[in-house]
Amino acid sequence: MKIRAIAGLAAAAALWLGATPTAASAYPVKQKVLIDNVLYKLGKMPTSDCEEPPVRSGDAASVKRYIGAAMQCLEATWEQYLGETGVSFESPRLKFVSSSGSYCGIGRRESSVSIYCDTGVVAYKLGKDILEDPSDLWLMVNTAALYARHMQQLVLIGPNVDGSGMYDTKAELNERLRRYSLQADCLAGAFVKSIWPLKGRSSSDWAHVRSLLTGDAAGSERVYGKTANVRKWANRGFSSGDAASCNTWTAVSSEVA
């Protein structure tokens, strides 16, 4: 199971729609809310115990239970982490889209999709690709990355990615979207570190799930980042357990390509 094979473009599309490029400030990014956010001043994420329910291949009910448990663990960690910042915390809602349904950019014909909607919803459509190989720790990391996008909304990073005057060209916009997405990958890694070691897990499990993370294909219009950078930022978060290591907004362009 590869994270980019089913991670929807809804978040990136939502940022792109309605954006009207005007005269941009100097690049790289200069906005204080992005480069000097309260998120980077909180230290290591609080450690906690988090149990993984068993997942069985082809069993949608067990996959739903696993994702639901991951959401509960994420809520407990992030609510405590943001608790003293003055940021009003609200957990995203979890929605499972029916096999023939459409929702927030998920098409009726799409099978396995997971997205974050900026209305505050983590949405999964559990098709064949997920159910045949649930890869339970992958589900944890993927859900954590989607949840991180909601946290980016709460600390006002998400709303400041693509507004008027923030970029001159589509290439600049795409780089801003990559910084946003790679930051979510890094925050997912930091969260996993805060609940590590999980019962029955070892460092090889993290190495394996990290090897499943993929980015944009070469030559495509990149809004996620290339695979090497996706893995690097996820591992950076896991190594530190601290959101401060996830400041993609001050990174050189090569690190967010």
Counting the structural domains of the chain, the total is 1
Q: For each of the chain's 257 residues, which pLDDT tens digit applies? A: 444 434 433 344 333 333 333 333 335 698 999 999 999 999 999 999 999 999 999 999 999 999 999 999 999 999 999 998 889 999 999 999 999 999 998 999 999 999 999 999 999 999 999 999 988 999 999 999 999 999 999 999 999 998 877 888 999 999 999 999 999 999 999 999 999 999 999 999 999 999 999 999 887 789 999 999 999 999 999 999 999 999 999 999 999 99
Burial class (CB in 10 A: 0-12, 13-18, 19+), 34: buried
Residue 8 lies in a domain: yes
CA distance readout (Å), 140 to 64, 136, 143, 195: 12, 7, 5, 11
Residue 32 lies in a domain: no
Residue 36 lies in a domain: no
Residue 108 lies in a domain: yes
pTM to 2 decimals?
0.90
Residue 38 lies in a domain: no
Residue 27 lies in a domain: no
Residue 223 lies in a domain: yes
User: Which ranges of the chain would DSSP assign to H, the alpha helix?
Assistant: 3-6, 10-16, 32-35, 60-81, 128-132, 136-154, 170-194, 203-212, 227-240
Tell me which residue range forms the domain holding 12: 3-17+49-256
Residue 42 lies in a domain: no
